[in-house]
Copies of this chain bind each other. A is one copy, B any other.
Amino acid sequence: APRPETAAELFAQLRGPQHRRALGRAITLLESTQEEDRFQADALIDLARSAAEHSRSFRLGVSGTPGVGKSTFIESFGLRVLEKGHRLAVLAVDPSSSLSGGSILGDKTRMEALSRHPAAFIRPSPNAGHLGGVGAASRATVLLCEAAGYDYIIVETVGVGQAEWRVHGITDAFLLLAQPAAGDELQGIKRGILELADHIAVNKADALPAAARESARQLRQGLHLAPPRADGWTVEVSTISAHTGQGLEDLLERLDHYAYRMRQAGIFQKRRDQQTVAWLRESCEQRLNAQLLAFLRAKYQSSDGLQRIIDEHSSLSSAVNVILAEFIKTTNLS
């Protein structure tokens, strides 16, 4: 077997002509659950983190309910991003995203032009790996893509809840795609999600122009109920068609403008710093949980062992206390 690469070697390759293949290997390393890969993965993340301090990338979160046309949008919008000379990476943050190919009917044919483009990199949702948690792996994947020279990062999710928060926590801007649908159908978008959005685009304005306008009107109404934002940004609602391309140029410009404004005000970097602190907090949690699970496996072997603990204690909380006291006593963090 060939000698495995060191983190430094792999990182150097990310910066070289073979960066695409190196990126694939780097992400595989992040997703590894082998304990011996952990140190190499950590070292790689640290290298990517120091490199990221000097990058001027833009990280865009994109979300929308199933059927909103997210894949078509990303393909069509992404090609425009590439036309501007950017190098584009598209990542998915949860296992039910359209990138992951998890749909019943399959979606191998989606984003065909994008996936063939030499300046684009498309990657489905990462496995949690040793980083424990899709969110942590996604943060690291974004940094690796940037290290490999991708400067426009789209992070996609399909969730109708927590996944949006995760995406919001690792991106610079959040774009919400909405359905052209009247009245009750808007229930798919929840208030909390609406408040995350830095821009909202109602898709399918070609096929359903009246419904798209009506949705846009309702969404603007919903936005007016929210208090003005502390950063002074006004969230706009536009109507677009991923299919015909209508409104996509304007959308691209509006997002550029957002990035410009936030950079000027220092909010851009401040938000990234806060995200790094959140990452540290999560990393502590996840490392501790990994230790706990390893302890439970070693000490109680299987579910039978835990079943016995339950039987021995009249109370769940005292079983928890006994287990955790033992864990703390025996833990030697490395």
Chain A: residues with CB nearer than 8 A to chain B?
39, 42-43, 45-46, 49-50, 65-67, 94-96, 98, 102-105, 107, 158-163, 183-194, 218-219, 222, 273-274, 276-277, 279-281, 283-285, 287-289, 292, 296, 303, 306-307, 309-310, 314-317, 319-321, 323-325, 327-328, 331, 333-334
Q: 20 other contacts beyond A95-B162, A104-B191, with CB at 8 A cut-off?
A: A43-B317, A45-B317, A66-B160, A67-B185, A95-B192, A96-B190, A103-B186, A103-B191, A105-B183, A158-B161, A159-B161, A277-B303, A280-B319, A280-B320, A280-B323, A284-B323, A285-B292, A287-B320, A288-B288, A288-B327
On whether A104 and B190 interact (CB within 8 A), knowing A289-B285, A316-B279, A317-B42, the answer reads yes
Please, how many angstroms separate the alpha-carbon atoms of A107 and B325 in the complex? Answer: 46
A331 touches B333 (CB 8 A): no
**Residues of B contacting A162 with CB < 8 Å?**
94-95, 162
> Closest CB of chain B to A50's CB: distance in Å?
8
Please, how many angstroms separate the alpha-carbon atoms of A191 and B106 in the complex? Answer: 10
**Residues of B contacting A306 with CB < 8 Å?**
277, 280-281
> Closest CB of chain B to A195's CB: distance in Å?
11
Please, how many angstroms separate the alpha-carbon atoms of A319 and B45 in the complex? Answer: 13
On whether A105 and B315 interact (CB within 8 A), knowing A66-B160, A94-B161, A289-B289, the answer reads no
Contact among B105, B285, B317, B325 for A184, CB-based, below 8 A: B105
| 5 intermolecular pairs with C-beta atoms under 8 Å apart | A46-B315, A46-B316, A105-B183, A273-B307, A284-B323
B316 touches A280 (CB 8 A): yes
* Most chain B C-beta atoms within 10 Å of own C-beta, residue among A49, A281, A334: A281
Nearest B-chain residue to A163, judged by Cβ: B161
State the number of copies, please. 2
Please, how many angstroms separate the alpha-carbon atoms of A169 and B296 in the complex? Answer: 20
**Residues of B contacting A279 with CB < 8 Å?**
316
B307 touches A281 (CB 8 A): no
A324 touches B333 (CB 8 A): yes
> Closest CB of chain B to A244's CB: distance in Å?
18
Please, how many angstroms separate the alpha-carbon atoms of A39 and B315 in the complex? Answer: 11
Contact among B49, B188, B320 for A284, CB-based, below 8 A: B320
Contact among B185, B190, B277 for A310, CB-based, below 8 A: B277
Nearest B-chain residue to A309, judged by Cβ: B280
Please, how many angstroms separate the alpha-carbon atoms of A331 and B334 in the complex? Answer: 17
Please, how many angstroms separate the alpha-carbon atoms of A289 and B43 in the complex? Answer: 25
* Most chain B C-beta atoms within 10 Å of own C-beta, residue among A105, A107, A315: A105
A314 touches B46 (CB 8 A): yes
B46 touches A317 (CB 8 A): yes
Nearest B-chain residue to A221, judged by Cβ: B104
Nearest B-chain residue to A323, judged by Cβ: B284
